[in-house]
Each structure stands twice: as structure tokens, then as C-alpha cells.
A and B are shown apart, each in its own frame.
Chain A
């Protein structure tokens, strides 16, 4: 607490004994800029005031005042009432009296929240988080179920959504994502080639770096990196869009007309991503191979023609198809995570931010999980 607050109250408060108790004279300037005076300090620090059962507060010598005075008076009144004193404010400025009356007009809410309450213990936190996770899993299954039903309606031609929305979303998450996909894929291709070259050079097998880059990009890295980029770029955007719609009651409006928001909002986004992510992955694969060829050309004796021939012979149609199927799955994951978190968002700015963050985290975790599961499945199936 600043020094001026604790030391100056005696200049502005003076207690004098009177016939019926005590006269408390308030003097000078009572402004927020001069700090607050604590009533409890005054009550306990002034011997005249200490034992008085009736206190008349006189404000005739107050030069100017603002909330600082009202704050003091309200707390003084509360403290006085609690101690069973009678406090008389009738000699105060009229405006201050009215404000004190207004501040005390509505009693304090019972059971009000307290700031800085005791923090939950480890077991309580663990329990709460487990329950939250369980609830979240249930909600996700419910959302997935609704989405599958909506997809079934698409296949039967009965889904209700605007076809033009697919094109709009596709434009946003397809062509406009090309620059970032180009940059990341080129760098990933370069890194793969660099790491591969350092190892393969030891065996004189530089040429096989083309196989390494091609297989790695086509089967795993192209799709996964595109998926992660799209989760951060598009999944977050979906969650923020739908979260804001939740704040504005736009999603509630769909429900009031019995129009399932899943169909109208989620399906176009999902279908657009199912198409866009594999196409972007194809592009990312080629750019990654170019990145690999750039490093190989610069760091080894392998010519670009040799690299090209080796690449063409390494990744066959099955490799491409398996990679692109994974990419489609990632598209579904990104759309589901983004849309689900958006629709589940709370109705304020902070909740929309949390929804976007949560959508990206969920999508990336699910993409890595799907990658692992599909790779094992391919292995079992001999693909």
C-alpha cells in the first residue's frame, strides 16, 4: 500500500467527543488520486472514536470529493453497524449521502464467490479431469454418430445443405493453402534427403536417397505434414467460425427451425476437406521430392536425371493410393475436430479461443494416432 494512504488519514479525519458520543470531522480533499482511507484503521486508531456508541460524521469541511469518500463512508457504515454503533451521515454532502444509500440499498449477495479460493487438490483435479474426459468422449461419439448419419443422407441424396458452401470452403482450404504447403513440404523433402544422404553415403548408396524421399513423402510425410498444416490453419478457422456462430445464437437458430446444424455446417466443410487434403497431399509429395532433389544435387554426385529415374521407379500406385487414403482420413479428422469444438464452444470470446486451441490439439493428436493405426493395418494387409 502506498505511503500516502497509510499516513495521511489523520490530516483528513478528526474525532471529537460530543454530547451523544463522537463527532467525526472529515476535512480536505477526498479523491481517488489521493488514495483510499481505511475505515478500520480510523476506527481502531482513534481513541475518541474507539468507545463511541453514536458517531455523527460531519463533512462540512470537505473541499472536494469523489468515489474515495463514498468508498470510505460505505465501509465505515458497515464496520460501525457490525460493531453496534449508530452512524449519522446527515451532516454530509447531499450527493454523498444519496450514493451511500444507493450502495447499501441492495444487500450483498449471499454465498457470493470468493476470489483466491482454495485450489483443488491433486485427487480432485484428477477426478474432475477424468469425468470431463469421459463426458468429452461421449460427446465426440454423439457428434460422430450425427455426422455419419448426415453422410449417409448425402449418399442417399437426402442431405440438406447448400452445395455452393462446399466450393466456398474448398476455395478457402485448398488453393489458398498452397503457399504454406509448398514451403513446409519443400523443407521436409530437404530434411529427409539431408539425413538420408549422410547415412547412405557411408555405404556408397547415395542414389537410394531418391527412394527414401519418395517413399517417405508418398506413404507418410506428405499426408501427415499436410494434415498438420491444415489442422492448424483450417481446423482452427472452423472452430472459430462455428464458435462465433454459437456466440451469436446462429446455431441455436438452426435448431429452432429443426434444421440439423451438422448437415448445414459440418457436411460442406467435411466434404471440402475430404477432397482438398488428398489433392494438397499429392502436391506436397511432388514438392517434397523436389526439395529432396535440390539437396541431393547440391551435396552428392547423383544427377537430377538419375534422381528422377530412381524416384519414378520407387513409389508405385499402391504407395500413392495408401498415402492418399490416409490423407482423406486426416481431412475427416480435421473437419470433425474443428466443427465439433466450434459447435461445443461456450458463448464468450474466451470460449471461442479455447475451442480453436482444442480443435488444433485434438486434430493433431488424432492424425498421429490414425497414422500409427493405418500404418500397422497396411503392414498386416501387406500393402
Chain B
């Protein structure tokens, strides 16, 4: 567990198995991430509630991407448990993990689009694998998903033929293909111009509001953090643990931890 004094503006991590109502989409309990004996982050505890746009933030090299990979089943934690919709992800076998994560989508840092397929084929492949849709129907759905991210008419373009920002949005479209309840985005705004970045932020908010989906976003782009995030965890590269959880705007103005205020005020001692 994180030391009580280090966690500012945060509530106690809730129990992963509440007695009433649906369990929270994600609960991280005493998680330590490590590469062999090299600890990246230790004693992480936070909860992502339904409909949250939850930001995992922190300075470069603090292990944000490593932590999110434990949430979408790509890297096991060295210690601790991750609950997805109440089920302990890393206590399942490979098939069980796939079942637990069936209702989630991932957008990788570089988009991760399959370069030998067109955008419609990228989305169609997923649809055809998990539904009974015919190729023509899958293409119709792919067209809708691309329209949702503002890429109407780009169905037959290859990822290499569109810009980085478009690739990122196409990645979101592919992640949306099976109407997931949870979306994980690893540095979605990295390398994007301010306008593309803003468009992506608006898209995330719109999708949350219309689909009721839950978003977990790794980023250190402050404009994005304050625009989209309603809850967050701040990871510290120095102490290798979380130093705050809560609404980013609240943390910026009220956190008692100077490192948190400094990070959220672009290096100015708040």
C-alpha cells in the first residue's frame, strides 16, 4: 500500500468486490510493476469508476505505459491484483484474460494499425472475427466507426497513406469496433499538433458521453489532462509510486504535494 502521507486529495481505494451494484470497471490493488529486479512502480492503488476518463500521468520514464499494459493484459504485475469488472485479471489463464478483456479496446501509442490492410480492413478483421457479420456488413460498420472519428471516406486508405493524427484516430476507430465498455489509450496525443490533439480530446469526451464508455488514458499533455480527465493517478519517477489520485484540476489547485502541483503547473512551484 502507498504510504498514507504520500497520497494527496485521494479517497481510500475501494473494495474490489462491492456488495451492491456492478463492480467498478477497473480496480488496481497493491500493484508493483517491475522488469526482473528493476522496480518501475510499486504499491499502486486506484479505482476507475464507470464513465470515468481516468488519466495515468507522471513525468517521462515514470512507468505510465508499463502500468497501463498491466490493465489491458499485456504485462503481468510483479505483485498485486488488477480487477476488471470485478474479475482478477492476472489470476485468470490466457483464455480467461481474453474473456475478461473482451469488452475493452486498446489504442497504442503509434496507432498500431496493421500496415498491410486498409483502414476498413483493419476494422473489418476484428468485426469478422467476433461477429457473424458478412464482409459487406463489416465494411458498413467500419465506415461508421471511421465516420465517428472524422475519417469518413478514408476506408480504402492504408495507414501509411494518412497522417500520424489520422492514424491515431483510426486506432480509436478500430478499438471501438466491438463497442467496448472500457477503452485504454496509451499517449493518444503524443506528437500531435494542438488542433489534432484537441479534436481527439473532443472525440474522447463525446464517445464517453454517447456510449457511456470508460476511458483509461496515459498522457502527460497538460491541456489534454485538464480537458478530458475527471479522475487521475499521478506517478512519481523519483519515489516510484503514486503520489496523488483525484480530479486533475482539483489536484492542480489544492494538492498538498509540491511535486504534484509543480507537475500540473508546468514546472512552476504552485
Q: Is the CB of A95 within 8 A of B211?
A: yes
**What count of chain B residues pass the 8 Å CB interface test?**
38
Within 8 A of B (CB), among A82-126: 94-96, 98-99, 102-110, 112-115
Known: A95-B212, A109-B153, A350-B115. A35 touches B132 (CB 8 A): yes
Q: Which residues of B contact A348 (CB under 8 A)?
A: 115-116, 158-160
Known: A36-B140, A348-B115. A106 touches B179 (CB 8 A): no
Q: Which residues of A contact B155 (CB under 8 A)?
A: 112-113, 115
Q: Any chain A CB within 8 A of the CB of B209? A: yes
Per-residue CB contact flags for chain A residues 56-91 toward chain B (1 = under 8 Å, else 0) read 000000000011101100110000000000000000
Q: Any chain B CB within 8 A of the CB of A377? A: no
Q: Which residues of B contact A115 (CB under 8 A)?
A: 118, 120, 155-156
Q: Which residues of B contact A33 (CB under 8 A)?
A: 131-132
Q: Is the CB of B150 within 8 A of A106?
A: yes
Q: Which residues of B contact A96 (CB under 8 A)?
A: 210
Q: Any chain A CB within 8 A of the CB of B144? A: yes
Distance of A265 Cα from B141 Cα, bound (Å): 46
Q: Any chain A CB within 8 A of the CB of B74? A: no
Q: Any chain A CB within 8 A of the CB of B127? A: yes
Q: Any chain A CB within 8 A of the CB of B147? A: yes
Within 8 A of A (CB), among B130-151: 131-134, 136-137, 140-141, 144-145, 147-148, 150-151
Distance of A1 Cα from B136 Cα, bound (Å): 8
Known: A109-B152, A113-B156, A348-B160. A35 touches B133 (CB 8 A): yes
Within 8 A of B (CB), among A1-30: 1-2, 5
Distance of A96 Cα from B147 Cα, bound (Å): 14
Q: Any chain B CB within 8 A of the CB of A261? A: no
Q: Is the CB of A1 within 8 A of B115?
A: no
Q: Which residues of A contact B226 (CB under 8 A)?
A: none
Q: Is the CB of B210 within 8 A of A95?
A: yes
Q: Any chain A CB within 8 A of the CB of B108? A: no
Within 8 A of A (CB), among B196-217: 203, 206-207, 209-212
Q: Which residues of A contact B209 (CB under 8 A)?
A: 95, 98
- Closest B residue to A352 using CB positions: B115
Q: Any chain B CB within 8 A of the CB of A260? A: no
Q: Any chain A CB within 8 A of the CB of B250? A: no
Q: Which residues of B contact A36 (CB under 8 A)?
A: 133, 137, 140-141
Q: Any chain B CB within 8 A of the CB of A183? A: no
- Closest B residue to A349 using CB positions: B115
Known: A113-B156, A347-B160. A103 touches B140 (CB 8 A): no
* Option from B147, B157, B211 in Cβ contact (under 8 Å) with A113: B157
Count A-B contacts at CB 8 Å: 96
CB distance from A348 to the nearest CB of B (A): 4
Most interface-central of A112, A114, A347 (chain B CB within 10 A)? A112
Per-residue CB contact flags for chain B residues 205-238 toward chain A (1 = under 8 Å, else 0) read 0110111100000000000000000000000000
Most interface-central of B134, B144, B150, B207 (chain A CB within 10 A)? B144
Q: Which residues of A contact B141 (CB under 8 A)?
A: 32, 36, 67-68, 71
CB distance from A68 to the nearest CB of B (A): 8
* Option from B154, B156, B207 in Cβ contact (under 8 Å) with A114: B156
- Closest A residue to B117 using CB positions: A350
Q: Is the CB of A32 within 8 A of B144?
A: no
CB distance from B158 to the nearest CB of A (A): 8
Distance of A226 Cα from B137 Cα, bound (Å): 53
Within 8 A of A (CB), among B99-134: 115-116, 118, 120, 127, 131-134
Q: Is the CB of A2 within 8 A of B132?
A: yes
CB distance from B159 to the nearest CB of A (A): 7
CB distance from A246 to the nearest CB of B (A): 12
Q: Is the CB of B115 within 8 A of A103?
A: no
Q: Which residues of B contact A71 (CB under 8 A)?
A: 140-141, 144
* Option from B132, B153, B176 in Cβ contact (under 8 Å) with A108: B153
Q: Which residues of B contact A102 (CB under 8 A)?
A: 147-148, 203, 206-207, 210
Q: Is the CB of B145 within 8 A of A67?
A: yes
Q: Which residues of A contact B159 (CB under 8 A)?
A: 348
* Option from B132, B134, B148, B156 in Cβ contact (under 8 Å) with A112: B156
Known: A103-B144, A113-B156. A32 touches B131 (CB 8 A): yes
CB distance from A70 to the nearest CB of B (A): 6
Per-residue CB contact flags for chain B residues 153-173 toward chain A (1 = under 8 Å, else 0) read 111111110000000000000
Please name 17 pairs of A and B residues whose Cβ atoms are closer than 8 Å in the assembled complex, sorted by A.
A1-B134, A1-B136, A2-B134, A32-B179, A67-B141, A67-B176, A67-B179, A70-B144, A71-B144, A74-B144, A74-B147, A103-B148, A113-B157, A115-B156, A348-B116, A349-B115, A350-B116
Q: Sorted from nearest, which 5 A-B pairs have the closest CB atoms?
A: A109-B153, A112-B153, A98-B210, A103-B147, A348-B115
Given contacts A32-B131, A32-B141, 8 further A-B pairs with CB under 8 A are: A2-B132, A36-B141, A70-B144, A98-B209, A102-B210, A107-B152, A115-B120, A348-B158
